[in-house]
């Protein structure tokens, strides 16, 4: 396969919605940021054999890659704008594979209203490696942060936890973009992030960034899986946020409006680590721990 043919046939069509891509024909892309907006940027990399097996449907791999990045934008309340893609392809990659990969991107671009703006296609002697940089926008000064949690805040989580661990790659994450934007627009979330490495560990990041502690009520955590899986397994891509305890009714109304479950699972405390407590208020510990990095995604 010739690089330029490949780009022309499969990736230029993905860039048509974004004039600043210059049809992927220049050294760089040109991005306009509307007045009163700031740019939110996230970058994730995944490789075959670590983050996925490698023999999955190429469209699924493409969608997962895009969606994990969109989930980061969702957690910041950002509106997706465009993305940049680096494809490091093993020499055995067929053009059929590339076409299928691009078709996955095309489908998700429509769903999530963004376009390809640039990138790089190159060879690797190793397994497939992919990196995606996603750009979004927020009104200036309004990006949701990990660092705004306050003692006394209620803690919420969207959707259900542990599902991804049960179904692994068969389940595509659903980036909670509408929820993130609503939390920003309605000034509801004091702190927000997406859960990619497990609830307990990721809540630890909010606590560290905010200088607070947190207590999870085990019985409230929405899950189909067992509790340990729900609290420590990664790849959920649900939003975890803290909000004023007075906002409970507003948040319930938002959940109904979006059709997205939002469950109050605990509270932010003034001090201490993340604790998980049972119905009697006794702390629960897990074999897999909370703060250490235990997943394959380092």
Q: Which two tokens stand for residue 185?
A: 């627009």
Closest to a second copy by CB, 140 or 167: 140
Q: How far is the CB of 55 from a second copy (least distance, A)?
A: 14
Q: How far is the CB of 133 from a second copy (least distance, A)?
A: 4
According to DSSP, the β-strands at 129-139 and 79-90 are antiparallel
Contact criterion met (CB below 8 Å) for 71 and 196: yes
Round to whole Å and give the CA distance between 147 and 212: 9
Q: Which residues bind a second copy (CB under 8 A)?
A: 2-4, 22, 25-33, 35, 38-51, 72-73, 75-76, 78, 84-88, 117-127, 129, 131, 133, 135-136, 138, 140, 143, 145-147, 193-194, 205, 208-209, 292-293, 296-298
Q: How far is the CB of 241 from a second copy (least distance, A)?
A: 12
According to DSSP, the β-strands at 262-269 and 154-158 are antiparallel
Round to whole Å and give the CA distance between 229 and 115: 35
- The distance in angstroms from the start CA to the end CA of the chain is 33
Q: How far is the CB of 210 from a second copy (least distance, A)?
A: 11
Closest to a second copy by CB, 89 or 216: 89
Closest to a second copy by CB, 180 or 225: 180
Nearest to 183 by CA among 136, 148, 144, 138: 144
Closest to a second copy by CB, 62 or 78: 78
Q: How far is the CB of 194 from a second copy (least distance, A)?
A: 6
- DSSP state at residue 188: -
Closest to a second copy by CB, 90 or 277: 90
Nearest to 42 by CA among 119, 129, 134: 134
Round to whole Å and give the CA distance between 142 and 147: 13
Closest to a second copy by CB, 38 or 244: 38
C-alpha separations of 258 from 96, 97, 166, 180, 199 in Å: 37, 35, 25, 11, 22
């Amino acid at each position: 396969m010739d690089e330029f043919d490949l780009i022309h046939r499969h990736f230029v069509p993905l860039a048509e919605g974004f004039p600043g891509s210059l049809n992927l024909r220049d050294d760089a892309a040109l991005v306009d940021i509307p007045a009163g907006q700031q740019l939110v940027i996230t970058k994730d990399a995944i490789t075959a054999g670590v983050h996925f097996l490698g023999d999955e449907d190429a469209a699924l791999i493409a969608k997962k890659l895009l969606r994990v990045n969109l989930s980061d934008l969702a957690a910041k309340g950002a509106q997706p704008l465009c993305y940049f893609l680096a494809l490091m392809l093993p020499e055995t990659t067929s053009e059929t594979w590339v076409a299928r990969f691009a078709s996955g991107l095309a489908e998700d671009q429509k769903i999530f209203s963004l376009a390809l703006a640039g990138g790089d296609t190159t060879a690797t002697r190793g397994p497939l490696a992919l990196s995606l940089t996603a750009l979004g926008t927020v009104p200036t000064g309004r990006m949701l942060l990990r660092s705004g949690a306050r003692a006394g805040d209620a803690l919420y989580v969207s959707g259900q936890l542990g599902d991804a661990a049960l179904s692994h790659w068969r389940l595509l994450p659903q980036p909670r973009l509408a929820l993130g934007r609503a939390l920003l627009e309605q000034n509801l979330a004091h702190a927000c992030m997406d859960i990619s490495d497990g609830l307990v560990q990721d809540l630890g990041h909010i606590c560290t960034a905010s200088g607070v502690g947190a207590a999870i009520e085990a019985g409230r955590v929405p899950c189909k899986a067992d509790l340990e899986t729900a609290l420590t397994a990664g790849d959920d891509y649900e939003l975890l946020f803290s909000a004023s305890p007075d906002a409970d009714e507003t948040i319930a109304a938002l959940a109904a409006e979006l059709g997205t479950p939002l469950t109050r699972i605990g509270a932010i405390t003034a001090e201490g680590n993340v604790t998980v407590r049972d119905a009697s208020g006794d702390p629960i510990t897990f074999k897999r721990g909370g703060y250490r990095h235990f997943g394959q995604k380092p």
